[in-house]
Structure 1
Amino acid sequence: MSSESLQPEPTLCRRSLLAALGAAGVAATLTACGSSDDSSSGSSGSSGSSGSSSSSGSSGGSSGEALAKTSDIPEGGGKVFADKGVVVTQPTAGEFKAYSTVCPHAKQRVNKVDNGVITCPAHGSQFSATDGGVKKGPATSGLTEEKIMVDGDSIMLM
């Protein structure tokens, strides 16, 4: 009966179970991150076939998603699409650029485009609407470029 009073196995099983659950959570997180990157790469690799299709029946995420009309983006300025995480600019007539709204300094979101400058409200970093480069810190690197396509008068997020 003294062997019944010493029961280290439930503690060991509990630890094993917690370790396994933790490992499974990490694996699930890595898989989710990996699949997101893979689908992005896949959509950009297959954008030739997706991009040439002009049907509006695409319900597959952001590939070919209509973002705005070209007339919505002022020349020399831009517009922030916070719900899509992208800012679209028109540096010169008919030239459209897109950047992530995530400021590389502190991962806050840019929220304004004015006079060719994209501004982050958190610490005052400013970026060029022409190339996304830093105009004023504290950010030390520019905004990440996003892929867009102009189809007629529509701007599509790829």
Structure 2
Amino acid sequence: MTGDDPAPLIRTAAVPVGGGVVLRGPGVVLTQPTPGTFVAFSATCTHEGCTVHSVAGGTINCFCHGSRFRIDDGAVVGGPAPEPLPRVPITVTGEVIRVG
């Protein structure tokens, strides 16, 4: 590991299969739609900029106005959000997930 490596966000075991976690500090939502597949999105709702609140029932959920996004591609599945959540590039090395 070099000094340029980004800090770890989370360990893979902390991201449930079929669900995910919202990391408010870095503003990222990490999901695991299928075993071993990790995806990251911006935690900022595309409707009015609220931070999404939870990941449940196969969707990323914003409680401000009820927008919901799919955990596999960030697409809007309900609510007033006009656009999908933007993807955030991540790297999975062993059991560690990093941005980039």
Normalising by the residue count of structure 1, what TM-score does the alignment of the two structures yield? Answer: 0.61
- 1:155 matched to 2:90? The reply is no
Deviations 1:99-119 (A, max 9, x none): 001101001110100121100
Query: SS in structure 2 opposite 1:71?
Result: helix
Question: Residue 89 of structure 2 aligns to which amino acid in structure 1?
Answer: K
* Distance in 2 between residues matched to 1:150 and 1:120, nearest whole Å: 26
Which one has a larger percent strand, Structure 1 or Structure 2?
2
RMSD value over aligned CA atoms? 1.2
Which residue matches 1:113? 55
Aligned length: 100
Which one of 107, 110, 126 corresponds to residue 68 of structure 2? 126
In the alignment, structure 2 segments of 5+ residues that lack a partner are none
Deviations 1:95-152 (A, max 9, x none): 0000001101001110100121100111000000010000102012110100100000
Identity of aligned residues (%): 40
Query: SS in structure 2 opposite 1:90?
Result: strand
Larger Rg: 1
Which one has a larger percent helix, Structure 1 or Structure 2?
1
Which residue matches 1:34? none
Query: SS in structure 2 opposite 1:99?
Result: strand
Which residue matches 1:144? 86
Deviant stretches of 4+, over 4 Å: none
Normalising by the residue count of structure 2, what TM-score does the alignment of the two structures yield? Answer: 0.95
